[in-house]
Structure formats: C-alpha cells, structure tokens
Chains A and B, each alone.
Chain A
Amino acid sequence: MRRIRVALAGNPNVGKTAIMNALAGTSEKVGNWPGVTVQKKVGKYNFRGFEIELIDLPGIYSLTSYTLEEKVARNFLLKEDYDVVADVIDVTLLGRNLYLTLELLEMGIKPVIVLNKIDELENYGYTIDKSALEDVLKLPVVEVSATKRKGLEELSETFLRVATGDLKPEGFIPTYSEELENIISLIEIRLKEELPQNFPFNLRWFAIKLLEKDPEIVDYLKENFKKWEKILKEIESIEEEIKRRHRIDLPSFVARERFLLASRIATVAIRSVVELPIEKLSDKVDRIVTHPLTGIPIFFFIMWLVFKATFDLSAPISDLIDNIFSQTLPEFVEKALSGAPPFIVSLVNDGVLAGVGAVLVFLPVLGILYFLMSILEDTGYMARAAALWDNFMRLFGLSGSSVIPMILGFGCNVPAVYATRAMRSSKQRLITMMIIPWISCSARLPVYAVFTAAFFSKNQSLVLLSLYGLGIALALLFALVLSKITGAKEECEFFIELPPYKLPAWNVVINQTWIELREFIFKAGTVIFAVSVFIWALASLPPGVSYAGEGSVVGYFGKILLPVFEPLGITDWKPVVALIFGALAKEVVVGTLGTLYGTGEEGLEKALAQTFTPESALAYMVFTLLYIPCVATIAAIKQESGNWRYPLILVAVELTVAWIVAFTVYQMALLI
C-alpha cells in the first residue's frame, strides 16, 4: 500500500487536532520532535487503497525562527520528506490566517488550503467565495467542518490527487509593494553573485527572511557567503531609508506588507452579509473574567470545581481498583497457589499485582482530569485564565498558563504534569513540569498528619501551612533559576489569543481522553510497573527475609545510607527505608513505617515518639516534602519531555535541596 505523508500546518486554535481526530480517529500517537520538548502528533488512516499519514506541526502564527515551535515547523517543512502540506485555516479569521499561507508560498510550498469551521461562518455574518480564493492563491481550497464531519471525503481526495500528481497547484507568488519588491530583487541579485553550490533554499524566500533579520538565516549567510558583511551593511542602509520614510524598522515593514496583502486577499473571498454588533456579549464576559477583582474569585471557584470533580469522582473508582489489586486478587492468588513457596506468592501479590494496581489506580483521576481540561480549553476559559495570571507569573519567569497545572499539583503531581499540555511555549512547559514536584501533593499529607500528631499537636496547622508555603516558595524560586538558564524569559507568550466561547466538541474530547489514557498506560505505566517490581525485589531478596526487614537488600541500603541522615537528626535505619519506599508514592512512607515498627498505622505515633525528637520530625517532614518526585511523576515527566535527562536532573536537584533545607531546618530548630 502506498503511503502519503501529509503535514498539517496552521495557527493555534484553528482545529488541527479536530481534523486529525475526524480523519484518523484514535490512531494518533503522541511523541516528541527529535531533540526538543515540542509535542509531535502523528495519525494515520486508509483511503482508497492509500495509507495517509497525518503529521501535526506545532500551531504557529508565522514561520520565523524565534520560538522552538516555529523552528520545529519550519525545519520540518524545509528538510523532511512529505507529499502534501495542508494549511489549516480558521475561516472565521481568514485574513490573519492567510499570513502563514503567504509565508508557505514564499518558501515555495504549495499547500492544500483547508477552510475549517465552515459551519460557524454564518454566526459571523459572512459568506465565502471559495473559487475566488482558489483563483487568487492558485491553490486547491477545501471547505471543512471537522467537528460536524463535513468535507472530509473531499479533503482526503484532494490529498490523494496532489500526492499522485493528478492535481498540480500552480501556487501564487506573493507580490508586495513596488518599494519592497525592489528591495527584494536587489538582495536577490547580491546573493546570486556568490550563491554556494547546492543552495538549499528558495532564493526569494531567503532574501525576504534576511530582510526580516531571521536569526537562523542570518547565521546561514555568515557561514556560507564570503561577502556576508557587505550584504548585511547594505540591508542596514536599506533599513535606514525605510525608517526615515515610514518610521518603522525593516522586519516590521516586511511583516506589515505581508499582513496587508493577506487581508486584501481575504476581502476578495469574504462577503459580509449581515452587519454584526461591534460590542459582543463575549467582550463583557471577558472584562469580568480577566479583571483581577472579579476574575480571581471566579478562577478559584472554577479550579475548586475541577479539583472536587477530579479527586472526588475518581476516589471511589481508584479505591475499588486498589481493593481489587491489594485484597481480592491477592486472596485469590494465595488460595490458587497454596503450597507454592511464599516467595512466589509474594512475587505475584506484592510485586506484579501491586505494580499493575499502581498504574491502574491513576486511570480514573487522569481520565476525569483530561476530560475536564479539554472542556476548559475548548470552551475558551483556559485562555482567559492564562491572561488573568500572566502578569503575576511573569515575575517568576513563568506564563499565565502555568497556573492551572501548578494548582492541580496540590491534588496530585501526575495529572498536573499532563495538564501542562495546554501550554503553548515548550520551554515554559518544561519549566512548569519541573517545578510541579515541589508542590505538596495530597499523598504527602498522611506523612505530615502522623508526625504533627505525634510532635506538634498544638501547632498542627502552623506546621502544615509552613510546609505548603515552603514547597510553593521553592517551586517559584526554581522556576526563576530555570528560566534564567534556559532563556525562557525571552520566549514568554507576548499575547494570548482569546478564542470565542463555545461548547466543546464532545466526540473530539472523548477521543482525545482515550488517546491520552492509552499513551499513559504504555509510556508511563511501564515505568511505574517496572519500578514497583524492582522495589519489591529489593524488599524481598534474599529469599526468606521478612518483607523490607533488617536482612533484606532494602534494609541493608537503609543502614548504609543512615550516616547521610544523621545530620538531620535521624538515628534509626527504619525511617530511611521508609523514604526508599516513598519513591513509589509518598503516602507509602507511613505504611512502611507502620510495618517496620510492627505497630501498623494506629500505634505508629507512639513508636515515632521514641525514635524522633520534634526537631528531627520537622526535618523528616521537610525531607519528605522535597526529596524526589514519586515514580509516577518521574514517569510522567519523562513521557512529556521525551527525554530521561529532565526527570534525572530533577531528582538530583531535589535530593540535594531536600537534604540542605532539612539540615538547615534541623539545626535552626535545635538552636531555638
């Protein structure tokens, strides 16, 4: 079967995901572009004996090389192998979307124009003249509604016809004002004087990008043209002239010409049939939800609802799954394997079943959260929330869209890491993922509860608040450090587009939720399972020892590591072993302590009172708050960043910081 590769290009919010979903169903695979943390989605489907592969390029407004997303999209279009480029356009914003189309045409690409959201056009009082647009752009144009599943057959057919050469789009060459055209020709001539062999770019495009001072293109010029200094000087003097005449710098001048041409083309194709009121109801709503006085309470109310729904609705299902894998099935296994060595029974029950349970227990919370996040995004609220918080988060080198993932982190870090998917800037997204583990999730609460009850019964809430505060403060501090290191500050979103409010497309939401759960099971789930079994092995080997007891491997590690913890006031190996188990999930620390002290969770307070002092208890809580993310969070960060490097750096930083802060807290507490 012949394969056809179709690259989907377009602005953010144009419905590329919906088109992917409508065409390729749930075949979508989520990964990363090589070497970067930008998400890559690929889907495939069969059409008339061809396999059509859809590659979703990052949503971008233009094809410069200022952001990671733009670079990824541009490098794909310049260097990779594909048969068709589909330029997905939100037909309700035709003029602005055509800006990217003109850039594609400048590069020498002849895309299929996909006018999406065609069903929404009448809400805007417009009609569109498809053939007029085809005539101007000299490209095939297809009208589509991805959510209503209209025009899809014709779209696939157009892909097929372009890929097989049955349809050869001529492609319009964007032509600008005489003034700019003269400048472009001049630069083209200069470049031609010493064009390197195998020059890989469209010359006109290269010249235009030079005028736009595109960093990658300027670098290429410097490396491959001997007279680069002369060419750049010439461009400088052209810019002086443009500034004098138009009071605008050269790159902005080029961009403006392109934008104006795009708008002119749009007016050729669009007919306004009804005059709409200029002030929209949505403007009134926007003023309320993005004004700090009203917007912040509304934001916290919505977050409270999301929080409640996610964690309350999922709890009974998670409990049920937990029961099945920690009681029902183990009891059954014990009966079925009666007579087998206890080691084997333990392998099946405490190793394999516990590992599977540890993965499945996340499915309800992730499923509900994905669902709610897509609703927040599709309705348009997410963009407003990001706009509301943008100024404040900028203080820490973050952007407004980091707020929602961070808040979810208080419930559970794992879904919080996945919630960063809604963020546009990959660098900002990576930083947000890296700071989420510092935020105290609900699994850490049982640890605080036991220790505060044993040592700080009078100041319980003060201690709790301080721990939460410490987590937030370190998260923001770490964000600041990371944004300095990665240079993400320059990549802040300069603006946030506020898409119209609308109801979510339910079939897309449900399909996406399913795709994301599947990805979690195969990518993060395997890691979680493997680590669970590994820790079981540490606790059960050599065969015959009591689980996690003194003679086991993990007990041995506990004793070896004890000297590291002595400066924190910890004098027994058992709490150290509990920390190793805490890597599975932080609440496991309490259960392990109960098992090791032979008290269960009820009598634990008394046992702790004998091993810890209030000062060392404080240090132990601080350490639990800050040391390594749980394995599920590590797996999630690996899945989302596409690289083991990031979770490993995080583990190293967190361990170091946890020790230093716990040590400081312990020593200061001793002084008081």
Chain B
Amino acid sequence: MTLSQVKAGEKVRIVNITGGHGLKNRLAAIGIFPGAEVKVVKSPPGPVIVEVAGSRVAIGQGMARKVEVEKV
C-alpha cells in the first residue's frame, strides 16, 4: 500500500521510500522515514496531508505514491 491510498484519519507506518538520497534525506529531516508513524489528515484527490512530529505536511500525489506504508 502507498501513502496515496490511505484513508483520512488512519495511522500508518512507513515501510519504504523510493527515490534519490536528496528526497529521502529531506523527508527524513521532517520525520518521514522507514519506521516512522504518521497520521493521514487528508487523502486524494488533491495533495495528501499527513501529521508528522506535530506539523502538517502536504505531499503531492506523485510523491505519495513513492512512499510505501503499512497500517498500524
């Protein structure tokens, strides 16, 4: 399952992120890395919004498809 398929209100754990080191590093700096738990505030259409480490972060659908997650 990818982050773009999670329903709003659900909590998920990040399993894997596909992408370059630049992408992974910047996501990790705000708390999005394999093993981290995030809450999905909004699901598509439109951007995915997640709550992570106390802040709200919008992630485009294309990017959200690169984040593999599992339900907590």
Contacts and interface: CB of A to CB of B under 8 A. Distances in A.
Interface residues of A, number: 48
Give the interface size bracket for B toward A: 35 or more
A384 B57 CA distance: 10
A61 B26 contact: yes
Interface in A349-396: 383-384, 387-388, 390-391, 394
Nearest to B23: A494
Nearest to A388: B46
Contacts of A390: 47, 58, 60
Interface in A636-658: none
B45 A212 contact: no
Interface in B5-54: 8-9, 15-17, 20-36, 39, 41-42, 45-47, 49, 53-54
B34 A62 contact: no
A289 B50 CA distance: 15
A495 interface: yes
A387 B36 CA distance: 23
Nearest to A256: B33
Given A283-B56, A293-B45, A494 B25 contact: no
Contacts of B22: 64, 66-67, 490
A290 B25 contact: no
B38 to A, nearest CB: 11
B54 A255 contact: no
A248 B35 contact: yes
Interface stretch (A75-83, A89-97, A229-237, A613-621): A89-97
Nearest to A249: B24
Contacts of A286: 41-42, 49, 56
A263 B62 contact: no
Contacts of A283: 41-42, 49, 56
B57 to A, nearest CB: 5
A536 interface: no
Interface string A169-212: 00000000000000000000000000000000000000000001
Nearest to A126: B54
A495 B34 contact: no
Contacts, number: 147
A307 interface: no
A62 B26 CA distance: 7
B2 interface: no
Contacts of A278: 39
A206 B66 CA distance: 30
A279 B40 CA distance: 11
B25 A64 contact: yes
A356 to B, nearest CB: 45
Interface in A483-513: 490, 494-499
B69 to A, nearest CB: 14
Contact of A498 (B17, B28, B49): B49
Which one of B54, B58, B63 has the greatest number of beta carbons of chain A within 10 Å?
B58
A259 B24 CA distance: 13
A93 B30 CA distance: 10
A311 B34 CA distance: 49
A213 interface: yes
A252 interface: yes
A495 B33 contact: no
A6 to B, nearest CB: 24
Given A213-B21, A252-B24, A283-B42, A498 B56 contact: yes
A391 B47 contact: yes
Contacts of B26: 61-62, 64, 66-67, 494-495
A511 B19 CA distance: 42
A295 interface: yes
A292 B63 contact: no
A335 interface: no
B47 A95 contact: no
A30 B33 CA distance: 36
A248 B62 CA distance: 21
B34 A290 contact: no
A11 B32 CA distance: 16
B25 A66 contact: yes
B58 A387 contact: yes
A482 B54 CA distance: 36
A540 to B, nearest CB: 55
Given A96-B29, A248-B34, A390-B58, 17 more contacts: A64-B25, A67-B26, A92-B54, A96-B53, A212-B25, A246-B34, A249-B21, A252-B33, A259-B36, A278-B39, A286-B42, A291-B46, A387-B60, A394-B60, A394-B62, A494-B59, A498-B56
